[in-house]
A and B are shown apart, each in its own frame.
Chain A
Amino acid sequence: MKFGIIVFPGSNCDQDCVHVLKDVLGQPTVALWHQDTSLKGCDAIVLPGGFSYGDYLRTGAVARFSPIMGAVTSFARDGGLVIGICNGFQILLEAGLLPGAMLRNIGLQFICKFVTLRVERTETPFTNRFSPGQVVRMPIAHNEGRYTVDPKTLREIGGQVVFRYCDAGGQLVDSANPNGSTDCIAGLTNRAGNVLGLMPHPERASEPELGSSDGRLVFESMLEALVHA
């Protein structure tokens, strides 16, 4: 299966994603420049982390108007698998492909550390290799990760939440919610389930040498979903 990693000016996790998909999972992987307008026949698209356009105005606000985003939006609307990691998640929010928005972390600090997450749904193309309620470890690295959504929308998206920040025992407590996200939301899909945004970095936790391989299951799940599509 062919994976495409979108590279925006200021992306800095693109090569990590290429490494995991190409070297760890052994899949054909191409980098797609933000000025491109074609996804070059890719079966799945990754919007990587970083600081696209220097985070100017708002995180992801300028990147969402990149030429490639027209193709990404059509691909997503047609049911194609799209995953946005960290800044990629912020871009998907700004593009309206996922509901809600990001605010500055509640403590106003850039947070870079491993967190524990509870897997809320396992029937998605991104989590079919996890077990329900599994507690996993992945790192976060962001300044604007406080997921925010209005109360009405929050009620509607309850079933779309895929990852929540939790403590080691899987409990949703304030002390385990690093950025003050609404309902401890760390990642969610669109209603159709083919677009995922998450703040933690699965590509930085895909090999035991990095302290966790839990993130690899996200990419393996995508592969599983594509093979059986």
Chain B
Amino acid sequence: MKAKVYITLKPGLLDAQGKTIKSALETLGFKGVADVRMGKFVELTLNHGSASGAKRDVERMCKKLLANPVIETYRVDVQK
């Protein structure tokens, strides 16, 4: 079973990397970019019987280590 975790800065926090990427894209001529948020992607391979149990576990991992709740939000996708 695989779990994919997407971690991004909370909305409202200035994302200096995202802002820089956006301006680089504009320099390249991509004018339609309204905003860029830079984040992290973590892929986990799990030995888990149930998808719901796996999701619960990964959410606990996010709260404890993978994301910092002060500055980040996360989304977990579990795939069989």
Contact = CB atoms under 8 A, between A and B. Distances in A.
B70 A150 contact: yes
A58 B16 CA distance: 16
A108 B65 contact: no
Given A103-B13, A104-B17, A58 B70 contact: no
Contacts of B17: 104, 108
A57 interface: yes
A107 B16 contact: yes
Contacts of B13: 103, 148
B1 to A, nearest CB: 22
Contacts, number: 36
Interface in A94-110: 94, 100-101, 103-108
A149 B68 CA distance: 12
A107 B20 CA distance: 9
B34 interface: no
Contacts of A58: 68
A107 B65 CA distance: 27
Instruction: State which size class the interface on B falls in.
Output: 10 to 19
Nearest to A102: B71
Interface in A80-106: 93-94, 100-101, 103-106
- B interface secondary structure, majority: mixed
Interface in A50-89: 57-58, 61-62, 65
Interface residues of A, number: 20
A104 B16 contact: yes
Contact of B68 (A62, A101, A180): A101
A108 B16 contact: yes
B65 A103 contact: no
A160 to B, nearest CB: 16
A177 to B, nearest CB: 13
Interface of B: 9, 13-14, 16-17, 20, 40, 65-66, 68, 70-71
Interface of A: 57-58, 61-62, 65, 93-94, 100-101, 103-108, 146, 148-150, 180
Closest 8 CB pairs of A and B: A101-B70, A101-B71, A104-B16, A106-B16, A108-B16, A101-B68, A58-B68, A148-B71
